[in-house]
Amino acid sequence: MQLEKKGYGQGEFVGVKIPKEVWHRGKIAAVTHNITLIEFIAEAINEKLEREKGVSDGHS
């Protein structure tokens, strides 16, 4: 996933506070998948939204 191609341009970012342990686990996972932490977080959010959409639609 290329952030530039997905509309994540300069000035469209916000700051969030997360526990250091969560940040560290995310960073390790991102490096393992050869992507940036921002890409990993964006993918995780999108996957969670898709799962929740499936549950609300009656799918599991």
2-59 confidence digits (pLDDT tens)? 555 555 666 677 888 999 999 999 999 999 999 999 999 999 999 999 999 988 877 6
> Within a domain: residue 2?
no
pLDDT of residue 8: 60
In a domain, 33, yes or no: yes
pTM above 0.85, yes or no: no
Q: Is residue 44 part of a domain?
A: yes
Domain membership of residue 9 (yes or no) is no
Buried b / exposed e over 5-31, threshold 16 CB at 10 Å, is eeeeeeeeeeeeeeeeeeeeebeeebe
Total number of domains constituting the chain: 1
State which residues form the domain around 44.
Answer: 16-56
